[in-house]
Amino acid sequence: MSNENHDNIDNMYPSLYSFISYRKEKNGGFIFNPHLYSEKWINNIEYNILQLVDRTKSVSDIVDIISQQLKIDNSHSKNIVHDYIKDLNNYYAINWWHEPIYESSKQKLDESLHSKTEFSDYYSAPLSILWDLTYRCNMKCKHCLNDDNYSVDEIEINDVKHILNELKKEKVFSINFSGGEPLLRNDLLDILKLSSEMNFGVRLSTNGLLLDKDFLTKLKDLDVYCIQISLDGLEDTHDEFRGVKGGYKKAVEALRLCSENGFYTTMSTMIIKQNLHDISDLMEIAVSLGISSFKLNSFMPVGRGRESDDQLHVSKEELRDLCKELSLHSKKYDGLLDFQLNPLFPWLLEENKNSKPLIRGINSGIQIKCSAGHTNLVISPDGTVYSCPYLTQFPLGNILEKPLRAIWNDNSSILGRFRKIFQRELEGKCKECQYVPEYCNGGCRAAAFIFDDHFCSEDPFCWKCK
């Protein structure tokens, strides 16, 4: 049945599409649609409803079961079930049937509302993975995370299959394939095909030099959700920064091709001193090409970037002024271009604050939650796992030698440190900042370490820290 409002669904048998995945967490869980590239948080009741949506039970049956579980009357249960079924329908998660399929044995729920399963204070597995398939590259970018002489062996396709199975087993939802330049791998299309067949949300990050119409034609059947292409300024700035003459024209052409071929296309720009005055023009270019989203990244002086720190690094004041400009542009391009910014930035602008944040004392036990150790992990070309692409001096183990679950749950590693940083441990203005509990959660801890050699230092990108 099509995705529409249903006046009488009680006698229908819903099932989840095969590409939908979900998993249990403490106090709820997540559901993921790879075609929307978005996971949604669900509460315990919604999780239990999900487990019943299997075409063996009608909506009326599900209402009865939830009524018994929650010990509530049927009318209340019906409202709860119908509301969530509607949400699932709008999330393109449900297929509708007039007849049931019959289970071979009585089905048990994996977890119930009164489950005794133990959950940690962090998620059971990463939500997403950044996977650097290679460190080889056809550019020489000044900000590159890798030093000139840094290289590692690249795992072969059989080991890639092993890792994908490991990620699927732990219900990781999405993968961003990057590098280096991933298009330099001859087996890239095979890797993307395997990933899409396993219903991961797939994103591809590239510099665009090797991307052409023939490659995109092959990519169309692989359910790659998003293609991200770097454009770091207008022509002279981009080519000088990336170290390749003609790189700008190639990137713009690649962006145009991706957009015209129907891919969700992201223009990714590194914020550096040399392109601060190009940002408005880059947004104009993005809109003119029909680009889906515009993403800004903060420069980190690691790898080759250490050599150019003084030339590239943007001051807090310059960052603040840029964000004021972006605030105006976001209104101008509303509905035409999605903005992907550091979540710290928008509400730091005084004029953007619609309400005062809640103020809590430093002894309130607020836990700092940078994505490292909480939602994301990084896999390198040889299978070594890291908490963050900027912290490769702290390897967590190799996923070919150690299961993902063991890596993720090893709190003796740097992951444990990230999971146990509280606001009272932060230094400087972050320690008593009113924004930390409700908004930034302490900002980027990798940046604090890179700039000050301490995980609890002030966030170096925050202009409130002066």
Mean pLDDT of the 421-439 span: 80
Predicted local confidence at residue 3, as pLDDT: 43
Any idea which of 105-119, 125-139, 233-247, 437-451 has the lowest mean pLDDT?
A: 105-119
Dist CA 445 CA 449 (whole Å): 6
Tell me the pLDDT tens digit for each residue of 25-56: 998 999 999 998 889 999 999 999 999 999 99
Q: Can you list the pairs that 387-394 forms with residues at least 24 positions away whose Cβ atoms lie under 8 Å?
A: 387/413, 387/414, 387/415, 387/418, 388/446, 389/130, 389/132, 389/145, 390/145, 390/300, 390/302, 390/446, 390/447, 390/450, 391/446, 391/449, 392/145
Mean pLDDT of the 50-78 span: 96
Position with higher pLDDT, 323 vs 378:
378
Instruction: Note whether 318 and 399 are within 8 A (CB).
Output: no
User: What are the b/e assignments for 411-439, b being 16+ CB within 10 Å?
Assistant: eebbbebbbebebeebebebeebebbbeb
Question: What six digits make up the tokens of 290?
Answer: 């029909």
Tell me the pLDDT tens digit for each residue of 80-139: 999 999 999 999 999 999 999 986 434 444 444 444 456 677 899 999 999 999 999 999
Instruction: Give the containing element (helix H, strand E) for 84.
Output: helix 74-90
Predicted local confidence at residue 40, as pLDDT: 95
pLDDT at 350 over 70: no
Amino acid at 197: E
Instruction: Note whether 28 and 44 are within 8 A (CB).
Output: yes
Mean pLDDT of the 257-271 span: 96
pLDDT at 279 over 90: yes
DSSP class of residue 350?
G
Predicted local confidence at residue 113, as pLDDT: 46
DSSP class of residue 437?
I
Pairing of strands 224-230, 264-271: parallel
Amino acid at 257: L
Sheet containing 38-42: order of strands: 21-25, 28-33, 38-42
Q: Distance from first CA to last CA of the chain, Å, rounded? A: 58
Predicted local confidence at residue 111, as pLDDT: 44
Predicted local confidence at residue 329, as pLDDT: 82
Mean pLDDT of the chain: 87
pLDDT band at 419 (very low <50, low <70, confident <90, very high): confident
Instruction: Note whether 423 and 437 are within 8 A (CB).
Output: yes
Predicted local confidence at residue 362, as pLDDT: 38
pLDDT band at 434 (very low <50, low <70, confident <90, very high): confident
Pairing of strands 293-298, 264-271: parallel
pLDDT at 151 over 60: yes
Predicted local confidence at residue 292, as pLDDT: 95
Position with higher pLDDT, 304 vs 340:
304
Q: Longest Cα pair distance anywhere in the chain, in angstroms?
A: 70
Tell me the pLDDT tens digit for each residue of 9-28: 999 999 999 999 999 999 89
Predicted local confidence at residue 466, as pLDDT: 64
Dist CA 11 CA 300 (whole Å): 57
Predicted local confidence at residue 110, as pLDDT: 46
Position with higher pLDDT, 280 vs 344:
280
Position with higher pLDDT, 368 vs 25:
25
pLDDT at 58 over 90: yes
Question: What six digits make up the tokens of 104?
Answer: 């071979």
Q: Quote the pTM value.
A: 0.90
Dist CA 415 CA 129 (whole Å): 15
